[in-house]
Every structure is written in structure tokens, then in C-alpha cells.
Homo-oligomer: A and B are copies of this chain.
Amino acid sequence: MTLTPEQQAEIQEARAETRPTLRVTSEGMEKRLYVAHEVLDHGLVRVIDYMGDDNAITQAARVSYGKGTKHVTNDEGLIRYLMRHWHSTPFEMCEVKFHVKLPVFVARQWIRHRTANVNEYSARYSILDREFYIPAPEHLAAQSTVNNQGRGELLQGEEAQRVLDILRDDATRAYDHYEDMLSQDGQKGLARELARMNLPANVYTQWYWKVDLHNLFHFLRLRADTHAQYEIRAYAEVMCDIVRDWVPLAYGAFEDYRMGGVNLSGKGVEALKRRLAGEVVTQENSGMSKGEWREFEGVWG
């Protein structure tokens, strides 16, 4: 992504002047504000506004638990306790608003997270820019042969080239035709709300996306996961870095309990206990299906 000089100037201007506030601030987040973090070939993530910090989480927890938490002197310990026991409401006290530029097919996955506020650029009102996502060669992968929703080996040589040519040519042609249909030069010009239907799913759109920290963690757990499609994961990973700067204690707990954690079924607990007792557990005597066992072995060997 290359920002236009106008956009760079706008960001610099927004970052040039601080205002005094009585609100809590997060130093890590102030450094991120407005800055465009590049994602994919033309995408970006920017923080436009935020509310709260690690302290807002413990403050809310302490209102809930009142004098009962007086003995927990340690903010990190309290935040880890909350995360471990799925206490979600204190994390909801923090809020963040992102500006995101992303391909439409990524936007369609993203929007499935319903507990958030969204204002998207409307192609009913306005004309979309001529920008399309074309995967870099290292992301141009074949269909996985073992996973219906995954990628396998990279495409090579001629096949890779053919795919890139198709994606580029079709996008270019679709956009040319989009402009042709909209044009009011010597013709009426098709309504924008109709013309947009000719554009492919790799065209870029943009939106403001506002969410509380609890729901953001839920989004990141699913979308920064290795099972997520690479293109949305690229956004989630940038956002993980931002959140780490914003609320380092909460992010640390999230990383340990959610991203780095493992959910064991009752059968999985049983199998591990038997192993710890020296028993040899196999798929057959574990009670697990083949699929479960494969995933279990993936973690525990």
C-alpha cells in the first residue's frame, strides 16, 4: 500500500497536536493513533480512537467484587484471574475504533462478528477506487488435499502465472466496465448501486470498526488462529500488536489463556490422566473419533 501524499499529510497533521484530557490514556496506544499499518498489497489498519486501559479493567472488576478484592494487590494477577475464569464484563470496559481498508471477501468474513459497530464506505453513494487484492506468490496456494477449507502447497511456474494473470486481467476489465457503465459521457450512466455488482470480491472497501476489548479478543482468537484464512489473519496479527501496546497486561493474559491455551474435552482429560499414570493410550481405547485423536496427538504427541 502506498499512501498518497495527501493521506500522509493528513495523518501527520492529526498526530501533530495533542489536547489535554482528564481521561485515562494509554501511552502505547497514543503512539499508534492514526498511523497507517500496511496489510496485504493495498490494505491498512489504523486506530482512530480508544477508551480505557489495563487499569479500566481492574477498576471495573473491583467495582464488581468491591471490598472482596482488596486483598488482590496485583493488577496482573487480577487480570489473569478474570481471563482464566471467563469473566468477560471487565474487558468490555475498553473500547477501540479502527479504520480498516480490506478486500470485500475479507470484509464478508469479518462482518460475521456481530457485536461491533460498523460504518462502511457505501458503493451505493460513491464510486469505489481501482484497487484489488492480488496475492503475493508466497500466498498463492493450491487447495489442501486434507482440509476442505484450507490451503496446501504453493502454486508454481506456469500455473501460478496463469492465476495471477487471470486475477489481474479480470479485475482490470471489471473495473473498466464499471467505469464505462457509470459514465455520463454521451449516455445516462447506470446507477451506482447497480454498477457495483460487476466488481469482483477482491476489490478493496473500507470501514470504521468499533468494538470492545472482550469481543476484540474473541475476534482475534478466531482470526489470528492458524486455521483462519491467511488474508484475514494478516489483519488480525497487526491488531494483536496494537492491542499488546494498548493493554499489555490483558494482552499477556489473552496470549497465555486463549492464543497459547488448549481446550481439552472430558475424554481428552481422561486420556492425559491415563498417560500421566504411565498407561499407553491409543485412539481405539481413548473413546475419541479419528479426527479428535488426530487433533489430540497434534498437541500432545
Binding site for B on A (CB under 8 A): 14-15, 17-25, 30, 33-34, 49-52, 56, 59-61, 63-69, 77, 80-81, 84-86, 89-90, 92-93, 95, 97, 99, 103-105, 108, 111-112, 114-115, 117-122, 124-127, 133, 135, 140-144, 148-153, 155-156, 159, 162-163, 166-167, 170-171, 173-174, 177, 180-182, 184, 187-194, 196-202, 206-208, 210, 212, 222, 227, 229, 255-257, 259-269, 272-273, 275-276, 289, 291-292, 295, 299-300
Contact = CB atoms under 8 A, between A and B. Distances in A.
Per CB-CB distance, the 3 closest pairs between chain A and chain B, nearest first, are A260-B266, A66-B126, A68-B125
A198 B199 CA distance: 9
Contacts of A81: 291
Copy number in the complex reads 4
A49 B23 contact: yes
A67 B126 contact: yes
Nearest to A30: B22
A267 B170 CA distance: 49
A157 to B, nearest CB: 10
B126 A206 contact: no
A63 B276 contact: no
Most B Cβ at <10 Å: residue of A64, A85, A151 = A64
Contacts of A269: 260-262, 299
A116 to B, nearest CB: 8
Contact of A198 (B184, B201, B212): B201
